[in-house]
Structure 1
Amino acid sequence: MKPANEKDSATTWNIANDNRVGPVGKFLRRTSLDELPQLWNILRGDMTLVGPRPERPHFVDQFSQEFHRYAHRHRVQSGLTGFAQVSGLRGNTSIADRARFDNYYIEHWSLWLDLKIIVRTFTEVLFARGR
């Protein structure tokens, strides 16, 4: 990906056909290999394997004001994969729906739900669904 300045990087919403993404970046995104560095954050304890996906602070503030219960999704640590993502809410999809799915996950958490999300994540990655 071609570099953006710091302000644009923090405040620009990523879109599916971002012209800054080169062929290698498109492959990494399509295969979700661009998420592998997040494993380091999991090992350090900054993230969990399953949980609401993190968002940049600019958008957390904005979405918290615009969408009912958006801020509630920050009751738990961010995760590499989440219920919203395996339910098709990736990329340029409804923020309200993402918040609803993330809050459902938090309020109904179980080891079984985590295992189902992990299996669905592998299926999504393996078959590159939704891309």
Structure 2
Amino acid sequence: MTAGKRAFDLVVSILLLALLWPLLAALMLVLLAVEGRPVFYIAERMRTPHEAFGLIKLRTMRPAAYGTRATGVTGGDKSARMSRLHRLLRRSRADELPQLWNVIRGDISLVGPRPPLRIYVDAFPALYERVLRSRPGITGLASLRYHATEERLLAACRSPEETDAVYRRRCVPRKAALDMLYQRHASVGLDLWILAQTMRAVLRRRDGRMLREAPAHSTRRVPANRD
């Protein structure tokens, strides 16, 4: 990461936190009142092929049943653990607001490949050795261009094994290709464009469609994991 990109990340993240902290505080209170503790979920993600960190999110899933080991990305198999509030937070990406703190700490950037789970880095070491030459980010080219397809593919999965297999076969290589395309053309201008397009996509979800669809949304189809 260049000094200019790091300075850009710090300035923008601090400004966004200053502007959005009332919204974040309100979401935390609502989540606490409706779903209880914990409000935050700390997810292990990889910053480099050999270095992990704790990615901070608002919790958007109920704890797994006792004795159940929750691993891998999120697909339709985990739908029963999500409430309507959880789905709304995921669809609006409001659950990712605490990740601005990860940016300030230097764990991730505003723009870059989404930080992967350790199991996929271990499964595809050569691929992630190349992808993670860029600092992972809150949003990125793969997030913009492949999110809808990933969501559709994983939401149709009915078991952890199916979700994992589909993610490995159909999502990992396509997202990595987009991440490496970003890497080859990385610039402040491209970062600004990706941030603007991400904001545009988030705002489009406030047009009322999300709220109209949520009550009728099957508990078996949920937003897939964005990571």
Could you state the TM-score of these two structures normalised by the residue count of structure 2? Answer: 0.50
* Aligned counterparts of 2:67 and 2:199: Cα–Cα separation in 1: 33
Number of aligned residue pairs: 126
The offset of 1:69, in angstroms, is 3.0
* Aligned counterparts of 1:12 and 1:52: Cα–Cα separation in 2: 18
1:69 aligns with 2:127: yes
Which residue does the alignment assign to 1:88? Answer: 146
User: CA separation of 1:102/1:115 partners in 2, compared to 1, >3 Å: closer, same or farther?
Assistant: same
Question: Which blocks of at least 5 consecutive residues in structure 2 are unaligned?
Answer: 1-60, 155-169, 207-222
Question: Which blocks of at least 5 consecutive residues in structure 1 are unaligned?
Answer: none
Which protein shows a greater Rg? Answer: 2
The offset of 1:7, in angstroms, is 7.6
Structure 2 counterpart of 1:60, from 115, 121, 126: 121
> Which deviations, in whole Å up to 9, do the C-alpha atoms of 1:12-54 show, x marking residues without a partner?
3211562211111011001110111111101111110000001
Q: How does 1:9-20 map to 2 (within 5 A)?
A: 9=70, 11-16=71-76, 18-20=79-81
Which residue does the alignment assign to 1:21? Answer: 82
User: CA separation of 1:123/1:6 partners in 2, compared to 1, >3 Å: closer, same or farther?
Assistant: farther
Structure 1 segments of 4+ aligned residues over 4 angstroms from their partners: none
* Aligned counterparts of 2:183 and 2:69: Cα–Cα separation in 1: 31
User: CA separation of 1:56/1:7 partners in 2, compared to 1, >3 Å: closer, same or farther?
Assistant: farther
Could you state the TM-score of these two structures normalised by the residue count of structure 1? Answer: 0.83
The offset of 1:61, in angstroms, is 1.3
Which residue does the alignment assign to 1:38? Answer: 99
Q: 1:125 is aligned with what amino acid?
A: V
User: CA separation of 1:18/1:106 partners in 2, compared to 1, >3 Å: closer, same or farther?
Assistant: same
Which residue does the alignment assign to 2:3? Answer: none
* Aligned counterparts of 2:176 and 2:191: Cα–Cα separation in 1: 17
**Comparing both structures, which one devotes a greater share of its residues to helix?**
2
**Comparing both structures, which one devotes a greater share of its residues to strand?**
2
| Percent identity of paired positions between Structure 1 and Structure 2 | 37
Which residue does the alignment assign to 2:177? Answer: 100
Which residue does the alignment assign to 2:195? Answer: 118
